[in-house]
Structure 1
Amino acid sequence: MIRVLIADDEPLIRAGIRMILTSADDIEVVAEAPDGREAVELARRHLVDVALLDIRMPVMDGLDALAEIGRTAPGVRALILTTFGERENVLRALRQGGAGFLLKDSAPGELIGAVRAAAAGDAYLSPAATRHVADSLVHAPDTGRATRARARVAALSEREREVLALLGEGLSNADAGRRIHMSEATVKTYVSRILAKLECENRVQAALLARDAGLGT
């Protein structure tokens, strides 16, 4: 059973998320928090597997809560709930090791899938949100990030770069496998190898690196 914490300052949002998640027979909502500080405390107390964190919360926002959970409860996988208007915050969250992000208006199945992916040690990027964030990266001033990213990616084989580019598009292992005619298990092996070579904590950070390096653009 996947143990989930929901952190959002709006009771109706929390109730809606709870209703969606508890419709899945493998997910249990064990705690809810109206602010980031309480979310950190409950994540530790209830030994949750996945924490769903809104960015904008009182007392402590979702980004600070993400960092604190990473320090004090590293086994918890944190997913950021966001809107299109928070691109820079999303980028900061992902670079800090968040397990991914999804939009508040995501379909119920997407929310459930994201929680399952995070609990399995994978990461989830909402395809729509990924494209939106990618646009902001493409038009952002290059402060040397692209040069550094290309230098890191140069250590990969051609096939590894191909898989990395698909991560940059936000594709799952299964979707990436179908795109390049490779089994899901083989893609997973490539992803693990890529993360090790690039010294990325998760596939989300690797996806952002792919965008920085201009792969798939």
Structure 2
Amino acid sequence: MRILIVDDHPVFREGVRALLETHDEMEVVGVLGHGRDAAVVAKDQFVDVALLDVSLPDMPGYEVCRTIVEASPRTRVLMLTANDTNDVIRQSLAAGAAGYVLKTEDPSRLISHISAVAQGETVLAGPIAQKVVRQLLEGPQPTVSTKTNDALNALTERERQVFFLAAEGRRNSDIAQQLILSEETIKTHLRNIYSKLGLGNKAELRLFAVQARLAPPQV
């Protein structure tokens, strides 16, 4: 697993590098203190996961995320930051982030989150998920139901099965096993679902389902 670290705090980024290098399956192929070169490095180094701080000196982290996702679609971006404000979380997810984790996360859980993101999963750390889900549930609901019905009617029967399993927080491998399909087929169905529902990733699918009362607000 090839990893890029983008963070403007030298002590923190070197600490993360040291942590990752204790795991044989993880290789740190780049360490940057700014965002301007992140997309180029991600593409040229065939990065699997980019650990990206929201607060960078030259540009917002969510903008860096967007440039990485556009330049290197294979790269999964995990936002790793101390900033858990609602606007920043939404901007990061909208930019294509595969996850959002606080820097205070336990090291062993950080490793687990990175592995999950690399395998195609979406990660929202507990406090962040609670914050976003609570905001969605407290927001206006009337128009969501109509839009949801129209959107779900556009899905095929198999896509609806994948949608509801993904909304429960299931991993791609678990969905594949239950539906007796390959993981690549599940990924294809998810891409189709995202396109039809106007979503960017599994985190947005999960939040869409919670807001529409199609899945419980588990975190």
Quickly name the TM-score band, shorter chain normalised.
0.7 to 0.9
Residues 84 and 132 in structure 1, CA contact (< 8 A), matched pair in contact too: no
Map of 1:197 onto structure 2: 193
Measured after TM superposition, the shift of residue 31 of structure 1 is 0.9
Residues 83 and 103 in structure 1, CA contact (< 8 A), matched pair in contact too: yes
Measured after TM superposition, the shift of residue 51 of structure 1 is 0.5
Q: Number of residues paired by the alignment?
A: 206
Match of 1:185 among 163, 177, 184: 177
Q: 1:194 to 1:71 in 2, by over 3 A?
A: closer
Map of 1:17 onto structure 2: 16
Measured after TM superposition, the shift of residue 75 of structure 1 is 1.7
Cα distance between partner residues in 2 of 1:5 and 1:99: 14
Cα distance between partner residues in 1 of 2:161 and 2:41: 42
The letter for the 1-side match of 2:168 is: L
Measured after TM superposition, the shift of residue 161 of structure 1 is 6.0
Q: State whether structure 2 residue 110 is matched by structure 1 residue 114.
A: no
Q: 1:65 to 1:26 in 2, by over 3 A?
A: same
> SS of the counterpart of 1:37?
coil
For 1:50-69, list aligned pairs within 5 A: 50-69=49-68
Cα distance between partner residues in 2 of 1:207 and 1:83: 23
Q: 1:216 to 1:32 in 2, by over 3 A?
A: same
The letter for the 2-side match of 1:23 is: T
Cα distance between partner residues in 1 of 2:141 and 2:81: 25
Structure 1 spans left out of the alignment, 5+ residues:
178-182
Q: 1:128 to 1:162 in 2, by over 3 A?
A: same
Cα distance between partner residues in 2 of 1:160 and 1:34: 39
Pick which of 25-34 and 192-201 moved more. 192-201
Measured after TM superposition, the shift of residue 92 of structure 1 is 2.2
Q: TM-score, normalised by structure 1?
A: 0.78
Residues 191 and 203 in structure 1, CA contact (< 8 A), matched pair in contact too: no
Measured after TM superposition, the shift of residue 154 of structure 1 is 5.3
> SS of the counterpart of 2:116?
helix
Measured after TM superposition, the shift of residue 83 of structure 1 is 3.4
Note the alpha carbon deviations across 1:147-174, whole angstroms, 9 max, x for none: 424542455668656424423xxx6568
Cα distance between partner residues in 2 of 1:146 and 1:97: 25
Identity percentage of aligned residues: 30
Map of 1:77 onto structure 2: 76
Map of 1:3 onto structure 2: 2
Cα distance between partner residues in 1 of 2:201 and 2:14: 30
Residues 194 and 201 in structure 2, CA contact (< 8 A), matched pair in contact too: no
Note the alpha carbon deviations across 1:27-78, whole angstroms, 9 max, x for none: 0111111121132232233221111111111112211111111222222111
C-alpha root-mean-square deviation of aligned residues, in Å? 2.9
Note the alpha carbon deviations across 1:113-132, whole angstroms, 9 max, x for none: 22212222332222332122
> SS of the counterpart of 2:168?
helix
The letter for the 2-side match of 1:196 is: N
Cα distance between partner residues in 1 of 2:15 and 2:23: 14
For 1:1-217, list aligned pairs within 5 A: 2-83=1-82, 85-141=84-140, 144-145=143-144, 147-153=146-152, 162-167=164-169, 172=171, 185-186=177-178, 193=189, 196-199=192-195, 200-217=199-216
Q: TM-score, normalised by structure 2?
A: 0.78
Residues 5 and 30 in structure 2, CA contact (< 8 A), matched pair in contact too: yes
Pick which of 97-106 and 76-85 moved more. 76-85
Residues 84 and 128 in structure 2, CA contact (< 8 A), matched pair in contact too: no
